[in-house]
Chains A and B, each alone.
Chain A
Amino acid sequence: MLKHPRFVDMDKCIACGTCAEKCPRKVDDEYNEGLAKRKAAYVPYAQAVPLKFAIDKDNCIYFQKGKCRACEKFCPAGAINFEEKEERLTLNVGALIVAPGFEEFDPVQYDTYNYTSFANVVTSTEFERILSSTGPYQGHLARPSDNKAPQKIAWLQCVGSRDVNRCDNPYCSSVCCMYAVKEAVIAKEHSDVELDTAVFFMDMRTYGKDFEKYYNRAKDEQGVRFIRSRIHSIEEDPETKDLILQYVDEKGLLQTEIFDLVVLSVGLTTPKSLIDLSEKIGIELDEDNFAQTICFRPVETSKPGVYVCGAFQEPKDIPYSVMEASAAACEAKATLAEARGTLVKEKTYPPERDVSSEPARIGVFVCNCGTNIGGIVNVPEVAEYARTLPGVVYVEENLFTCSQDTQDKMKEVIQRENLNRVVVAACTPRTHEPLFQETLRDAGLNKYLFEMANIRNQCSWVHSKEKEAATTKAKDLVRMAVARAQLIRPLPQPTISVEPKALIIGGGISGMAAALGLAEQGFKAYIVEQSEQLGGNALMLAETWRGDQVAAQLGEMIMQVKEHPLIEVFTGATIKESSGFIGNFKTVITQDGKDSEVEHGAVIIAVGAEEYKPNEYLYGQDQRVMTHLEFDSAFKQTDERIKGAKTAVFIQCVGSRIPERPYCSKVCCTHSIRSALALKEMNPDMDVFVLYRDIRTYGQREKIYRKARSKGIVFIRYDLDNKPQVLQEGEGISIECLDPILDRKIKIQADLLVLASAIVPRNNEHIAQLFKLSLNEDGFFMEAHAKLRPVDFATDGIFLAGMAHYPKPIEESIAQAKAAASRASVALAKDQITVEGVVSHVNEVMCRGCGKCVEACPFGAVNLVEREDGKTVARVQEALCKGCGACAVVCPTGAATVFHFEDAEVLTMVEAALKG
């Protein structure tokens, strides 16, 4: 591995920004896609992690011309080091995870779009920056040519995707439809005028959880126009720099429209550098240059011990990237299970000093933050003032209170001066409180004996033009912090033990994958399956979209589960009751009328979903009409209805994307096309029709759509206003629909009709209530965060996988299941869990058991319990409490409060503020 020099000492840099301020060299800012400038001494963006500057050698005047070194001269921390050399490092690791992402498609290749010559043609990422408040126009909607606010914006979809003519990317990039809809919606919100937005698309692929609703809202409520057309070229009015688009509308008429700005929805590609990297690592890429994987092993590369996740595996959105990331971690953990914990050390602290009987001895550290605070606030005056405050026995001012040498000194001062409270007047506790708390612990103090006054973000930065007033305010803030410090108390951080076992509800593909993921890491897993056998919906499936036989792979998986010594399977079983919290659940499983209790530290919900049974299109009335799962079963058994068919028709979106069930079932387009191809392979003379609304073969699934068309499968689009009519006519089934291209009604005589029926949630109420989980309005389980925590629930220790979350194909179910196993193992790998001290508690004398706090708690941490004396009171399960205070807010009697933020501790600050 080659480590490039940063030319800034990370330990010394305090991110004050002086180097960038003094650097005379301006270059294009890649963070803002070249729409703004940065310096050669820079930090990529304000919230960057690590928040340390770097010098861009290729653009630095000193490196290019031999003199300047302005940054070095002005750096207050002496952090600039021009002598830093690149380092060649060799890492000895047990596994490798490849997550290098993607590069956006360079639209220069589309010469008729004139991306380089027309200023107002931008890429979608450039438009993200245009929308952003940290972007080139500070979040004001503006276009590059004249910085004027656009009134009409167009998005052109599939630029560098689904295209083998102008580029070589036959796949769909999966994310562009949704990001274009989002950009259009946000642009409308940002605009001062009634902004006209138009998205030019081929198929609208809003297939993910809550995507279709978002699309419907954009279309019906926010007035985003959606035009089904692929634009050939963009022309510019040389005077106004406006852009002219021509397209043929649905009626076949040529339309011309003028837009102020055109956004190219660019696709996701693998750059040359990653192709080279793959070669070095020795992993195989597929023909689109994504890492080669198979559906049943979605994160395993061709090389053992090397795992892949994110867009380098296949173009995908954030939640699925996050799922795969955890799945890859699961595989790596399983591979290295024996070596867990061998290379990490646990930090030890000196015993905590008991300060309960001591009067407050407060130490105050006032920070200059270079010139950030010191340049505005008179820090010596604030420090002098702090000495006069009650309880303060020690005060010092620092250039940088957060620097490592100050931490060492602070520890020494705490011990020497026998301090029992510490106040730091500096920046924000959000970034720095943990650092100072750590120093307190190192010095033998409880970490809650610490308080911060934010005299930077809330004072010097916002009052930079009023130095005197800022100094007065800084004193106020310090006085308030010291007043509070008098009252704060040490808080215990109890530990709870962890039962290193997991309960998995559901024995389909997801449940089994999760169980294997845990068992391979060395944790015991119980699978509870309500039916008599393992396998779930997959028992009926014929092939994955990549063409693997499901039965063979599934059989192998079932065998692995049954044979694994750490997996115990309960079939024909249900959950009767469950109690407890992360690390310590107790669940009663009922099997054959017998109850057995298991103890476990985590729960994985993998109950799956089921196929909707249609009540239209002659389903149930004619045996030649079947759902797609029924088709798979029949196909596997070479049923006569299929073998003898001469004309087959597939109808898509049966029960999906309709007002009463607005979501897209995600898998049906791919599944129908795979089935249609299988029919064509079986009998090339068969006429096969697919009646669809949008074909949603996202990602590389697009390639089977292309193949289907080349094999002569006919695709006819319909919309909700003109649904196909299905009638029994003579010997056959007649299907009538309106062909939008011919603008004529056509009639197909078929002898096989396959309905791509929706995937609907099971009756999840019972499980949701048992574990206090939420369901979304469609009835699927709701994860903690749609983007960043797609397998976690808000309640700790409970995780989600597979179709219980949302309809998804096998590869995504397995990835999510492995992800759930990875997340669960984070909890199970600990001998004990430390509970934070800032938790709420209920004064039972004042509690009247109304239950408002139970409803308010987003983490399921509060319960109503009946005491032995018959009184009902609320009790807090501290292991689940996050200290958010929602219970304290709703409590009508004041019984619920949060430690560290009790009324007295907060009110004293208000009093101190008013005393100034």
Chain B
Amino acid sequence: MNTKSSPVGSVCVIGGGIAGMQSALDLADAGYFVYLIEKTPAIGGVMAQLDKTFPTNDCAM
């Protein structure tokens, strides 16, 4: 296999929680095509279920 061939400019991110979303945003904002894969009908992950977040008591949503 020719390993010198130029790479593909896209990235697959598995998981649409807080980590997956941040990765996807950083990549897309810098010129990479991103496939964000999430198994539920909405992104957001566990953080969307939280009421407030420590230590600032900000609303998680």
Spell out A's residues near B (CB within 8 Å).
Answer: 1, 4, 6, 31, 33, 42-45, 47-50, 52, 54, 91-102, 125, 128-129, 131-132, 134-135, 178-179, 181-182, 185-186, 208-211, 213-214, 277, 309-312, 318, 321-322, 324-326, 328-330, 332-333, 335-336, 338-344, 786-788, 822-823, 825-826, 829
Contact = CB atoms under 8 A, between A and B. Distances in A.
A135 B61 CA distance: 13
Given A45-B42, A99-B17, A322 B22 contact: yes
A179 B57 CA distance: 10
B50 interface: yes
B61 A92 contact: no
A125 B44 CA distance: 15
Given A54-B41, A100-B15, A829-B29, 10 more contacts: A92-B10, A97-B14, A99-B17, A100-B17, A101-B17, A213-B55, A310-B19, A321-B17, A332-B11, A333-B32
B13 to A, nearest CB: 5
B20 A97 contact: yes
Contact of B57 (A92, A182, A344, A823): A182
A441 B43 CA distance: 29
Nearest to A336: B7
B8 A787 contact: no
Interface pairs A-B: 3 shortest CB-CB: A310-B19, A339-B9, A325-B22
A63 to B, nearest CB: 16
Nearest to B45: A101
Interface in B21-48: 21-24, 26-33, 35, 37, 39-48
B4 to A, nearest CB: 11
B18 A325 contact: yes
B30 to A, nearest CB: 4
B55 A786 contact: yes
A214 B47 CA distance: 20
Residue of B9, B11, B45, B48 contacting most chain A CB atoms (<10 Å): B11
Contacts of A101: 15, 17, 19, 45-46
B55 A329 contact: no
Contacts, number: 209
A39 to B, nearest CB: 13
Contacts of A31: 48-49
A186 to B, nearest CB: 6
Interface of B: 6-15, 17-24, 26-33, 35, 37, 39-58, 61
Contacts of A788: 18
A210 B55 contact: yes
Contact of B51 (A132, A209, A324): A132
B8 to A, nearest CB: 4
Given A213-B55, A318-B47, A787-B58, A329 B22 contact: yes
A371 to B, nearest CB: 23
Contact of A208 (B9, B14, B17, B55): B55
A361 B57 CA distance: 47
A135 B48 CA distance: 12
Contact of A343 (B10, B43, B49): B10
Contacts of A97: 11-14, 20, 23
Contact of B8 (A333, A339, A825): A339
A755 to B, nearest CB: 27
Contact of B20 (A182, A325, A332): A325
B61 to A, nearest CB: 6
B14 A99 contact: yes
A31 B17 CA distance: 14
A131 B19 contact: no
Contacts of B57: 182, 185-186
A310 B18 contact: yes
A128 B51 CA distance: 5
B20 A96 contact: no
Nearest to B37: A1
A341 B31 contact: yes
A321 B32 CA distance: 21
A566 B44 CA distance: 37
Contacts of A340: 9, 30-32
Given A129-B49, A208-B55, A329 B27 contact: yes
A291 to B, nearest CB: 12
Report whether over half of chain B's contact residues are helix, strand or loop; otherwise say mixed.
mixed
A211 B53 CA distance: 12
A50 B40 CA distance: 11
Nearest to B58: A787
Contact of A47 (B7, B13, B31, B61): B61
A96 B37 CA distance: 11
A336 B50 CA distance: 35
A93 B42 contact: no
Contacts of A310: 15, 17-20
Contacts of A211: 54-55
A745 B6 CA distance: 69
Residue of B26, B43, B47 contacting most chain A CB atoms (<10 Å): B26
A328 B52 contact: no
B44 A186 contact: no
B56 to A, nearest CB: 5
B35 to A, nearest CB: 5
13 contacts: A31-B48, A31-B49, A45-B44, A48-B41, A49-B42, A100-B14, A128-B51, A318-B53, A321-B22, A324-B19, A325-B23, A325-B26, A829-B31
A627 B56 CA distance: 33
Given A329-B27, A336-B32, A48 B42 contact: yes
A99 B24 CA distance: 10
B42 A43 contact: yes
A43 B48 CA distance: 13
B41 A326 contact: no
Contacts of A826: 26, 29-30
B28 to A, nearest CB: 8
A39 B60 CA distance: 24
Nearest to A187: B51
Contacts of A178: 54-55
B9 to A, nearest CB: 3
Given A92-B10, A93-B10, A96-B14, A326 B51 contact: no
A98 B49 CA distance: 21
Nearest to B47: A318
Contacts of A4: 39
B49 A128 contact: yes
Nearest to A273: B39
Given A96-B12, A310-B15, A338 B6 contact: yes
A254 to B, nearest CB: 33
Given A50-B42, A335-B7, A182 B26 contact: no
A181 B33 CA distance: 41
Contacts of B43: 49
Contacts of A333: 26-27, 30, 32
A209 B14 CA distance: 29
Residue of B11, B14, B23, B49 contacting most chain A CB atoms (<10 Å): B23
A343 B14 contact: no
